Amino acid sequence: MTSNEIRPDALIVGGGIGGLSTAYSLARQGLRVRVLERASEFGEVGAGIQLAPNCTRILDDYGLLDEARSLGVEPTRMVMRDATDGAELSSLDLLDMRRRYGYPYLVIHRSDLHAMFLRACRRVGVELLTEQHVVGYSTTETAARVELSDGRTEDAGVVIAADGLHSVARKLLVDDNPVSSAYVAYRGTVPADHPRACDVDLSEVTVHVGPGCHFVHYGLRGGEMLNQVYVFESPKALAGEDDWGTPDELDAAFAGTTEFVRDGLPHMWRDKWWRMFDREPLDNWIHGRIALLGDAAHPPLQYIAQGAIMAIEDGWVLGEHVARRRGDGGVDWDGALAGYNAVRPAHCRRVLTTSRAWGELWHLGGEPREQRNALLRVRDVYDYSFVDWLYSVTAVDPQDEPEMFTAVPLAAATTG
């Protein structure tokens, strides 16, 4: 009998960070887990990723925090600057944040984080299959099934659809499409000894916010490289053109920014770019024994750096509910999925809507920009009122969800 003939307790569709971290979470509970990945090998594309305390707390619970620390950088400050004049607007003391929440803020290469979870899955016996193209899902009262492109089927007690922004499983719940923000991201890295990196403090995460654009940079891999991300609103996208986000638009978008910001443009990967989409939030992620997870459920805009973190949280919360509902007869999957569904959609709705609002705030011009800057300049460095709801706890039950912050209107600003 081959391994494929042994029915797993859980099938996970998608071998990205969300799929692998969830596989590890469930395997830690003693479950037989099989991951179906469409690509010919497991891997991640991209550069840096930020891991806030709500994520590093989970990594510590998984026994993976020390490994993540060894692969990444623990920055000392997060700084916001105006991209037009270079002035510092606000900051967070990330070492004080570690004391407040008990866990660090890390930055790490996306491929390093993915590889860490891949190694963890192998250690606990997760079955990892590649070239598995899932084209359909179905469910009964006691099991779920996926159909593959070659006509085969796979069954399990539950199917976790971590199949990304263009999820097939999501169509079981809603007939919607990704929402274009008309923004596009360019990414790139340079070695720490490159002239571009020499004047950059690699211990800081810095964002330069400007009208219709922003620029982020921070150190990666123990300070061995500088990660840079340029994001801008595409006029071609707004005009409805198909070919949008092109390098000529990149250069034009940052023409009015500081020399330091502009000097990084030649060091981007200019032959590929990432168009930014999200989807409208869903209140229900469950269809029988099929559950959405990660970007299949809640693809965000990246402005508060919670996309991968939400997926990791999803898997951890699901694992906590499995632990509560596992007995000699197996897992009460209906109860575990209901518990997961009672808390995660509401939290992720907050993240998606806040990410959109934060992006609007970053990209203001004219008088609203001056009002924003005035409000940010008077903010106390040790004011955590706007991040406590996000970083302080990952709720397992709805009553544990922290209260949301109170927004401050731009009109409250006193400008010069």
Phi, psi (5° rounding) for residue 406? -100, 120
Give me the DSSP letters along 311-356: HHHHHHHHHHHHHHTEETTEE-HHHHHHHHHHHHHHHHHHHHHHHH
- Other CB atoms within 10 Å distance of the CB of residue 76: 16
What's the pLDDT tens digit per position in 206-250? 999 999 999 999 999 988 999 999 999 999 999 999 999 999 999
Q: What is the mean pLDDT of the chain?
A: 96
Full set of structural domains in the chain with CATH: 3-177+279-400 (3.50.50.60)
Higher pLDDT, 302 or 199: 302
Average pLDDT over residues 363-383: 96
Q: Catalytic residues, which ones?
A: 218
- Distances 26 to 33, 297, 332 between C-alpha atoms, Å: 7, 19, 14
pLDDT of the residue at 416: 61
pLDDT of the residue at 54: 98
pLDDT of the residue at 4: 56
Q: pLDDT band at residue 414, thresholds of 50, 70 and 90? A: confident
State pTM to two decimals.
0.96
Which tokens go with 185?
């991201």
- Check whether 1 has a pLDDT greater than 70: no
Listed in sequence order, the residues at least 6 apart from 69 whose beta carbon sits closer than 8 Å to its beta carbon are: 104, 106
